[in-house]
A and B are shown apart, each in its own frame.
Chain A
């Protein structure tokens, strides 16, 4: 693990990689987990409402509809309250990071080996999925309102809203399943969504542009395009071995 990053690429001037860094503060974790809980509720109740055979088994449509509608309206809550006070700063900063794509984030989708693409705090895949989550949830809230309170709206609106709601339901469900399965395959990152902290070794390897601040600036920093990224000798293969070591020592 030691010397896994060339000293020349570390502006902070430390060749040693040890300790932990703060990845998500309490506010961000609360926003994540309350949103996750609401999404889980929405997917379970929504699936029951959507699949006729499940509806037949479960019944109690009015109750399920009420839970679904309340959870859906509540979905704006976590992000809203997460940004509503002085505790917003890190969440706001991370949302900014997710919005801003640099060359490497596009390269993430082109490279055969994604671990070779130096990223900022979030890689291209995380940026894309967070945008689909955000936009998808807005669509669900809007179309859901038209479906629930349809009689004031033209009938065609409710019909169109249903088509859009059902389509995005499939997209978000697949996305949630993908998100969870990826998280389960990366225990260190999953743990950091509970504790807020992650090893500096992980950050050096996966998010160098976060450590040097270049993912929030126009400065390329260590967050370089792939052509400029020299594969580090021990980062080419044995990624899992290296990650395992860093966990053990961190």
Chain B
């Protein structure tokens, strides 16, 4: 930035005054100046603020239509905002590939009967349950009316026989890194499932199959994918995203049911 680096005009700015302007030797009438730049910016900022304020209602209202538009566009459909699609999150480099035939869900820690449940065990020896409920991500996207099928987590815990001093659960993902936590009372809520089917099909690998957790009253990060092991403990150990500052008690909207 040298001083010689000035603009070609080099003339002082004139005050923005019509009389002043018209007294200059202009050949034509003064030009009107409109401050379109800042108006455009303010308009956009207003759009953003409006989005935060009422975007959820708009999202709910147009989501159904946009879902149809999005699915009719194939791969490009993923670009449509507000189309109510799942966004697939993985924190490791790859999606774990788990063979459903050899899959085992381990339940251990402070239990009387440590379990090693196959997919067949989950489907035949424990009471089945299903529910339809939205999937809400903490970052703001939501998939309405997802159909979940599986076994209530409380039924799994009852089968294992939780010891009286236990207060919490730790969940470990088959991806080797992701962990989650729940208190025992949260885990016993009726809409907390060990899910092996969703949206009318077996849980796919990208959705966390063959078995994942679904914690309906909490943000999606609680619904750990590729569920590998449940450890019953006496302390809540914050999970993967909770170490990054997200609430351990991840009630949607911050309100416990």
**A interface residues, Cβ below 8 angstroms from B:** 21-22, 25-27, 49-53, 55-56, 58-62, 87, 90, 93, 98-103, 105, 127-128, 130-132, 134-136, 138-139, 142-143, 146-151, 154-170, 196, 200, 203, 210-214, 216-221, 223-225, 228
Contacts and interface: CB of A to CB of B under 8 A. Distances in A.
B51 interface: yes
Given A52-B88, A59-B91, A103-B31, 19 more contacts: A52-B86, A53-B88, A55-B90, A59-B90, A61-B89, A61-B91, A90-B7, A98-B37, A101-B33, A103-B32, A135-B43, A156-B56, A160-B51, A160-B59, A210-B7, A210-B9, A218-B17, A219-B31, A220-B29
A219 B48 contact: no
A151 B247 contact: yes
Contacts of B133: none
A160 B7 contact: no
B257 interface: no
Interface string B85-123: 111111111110000000000000000000000000000
Interface residues of B, number: 80
B252 interface: yes
Given A131-B41, A132-B40, A136-B44, A52 B87 contact: yes
B38 A99 contact: yes
A135 B40 CA distance: 7
B139 interface: yes
A55 B41 contact: no
Given A61-B89, A203-B8, A160 B78 contact: no
B59 A159 contact: yes
B45 A99 contact: no
Q: Is the interface of A mostly helix, strand, loop or mixed?
A: helix
B32 A102 contact: yes
B7 A219 contact: no
A220 B135 CA distance: 59
A164 B51 contact: yes
A102 to B, nearest CB: 5
Contact of A26 (B1, B52, B75): B1
B92 A60 contact: yes
Interface stretch (B19-27, B151-159, B189-197, B228-236): B19-27
Interface string B214-243: 000000000000000000000000001100
Contact of B13 (A21, A22, A50, A217): A217
Given A60-B92, A61-B90, A213 B11 contact: yes
A161 B51 contact: yes
B51 A101 contact: no
Contacts of A162: 55, 59, 139-141
Contacts of A219: 14, 21, 24, 26, 30-31
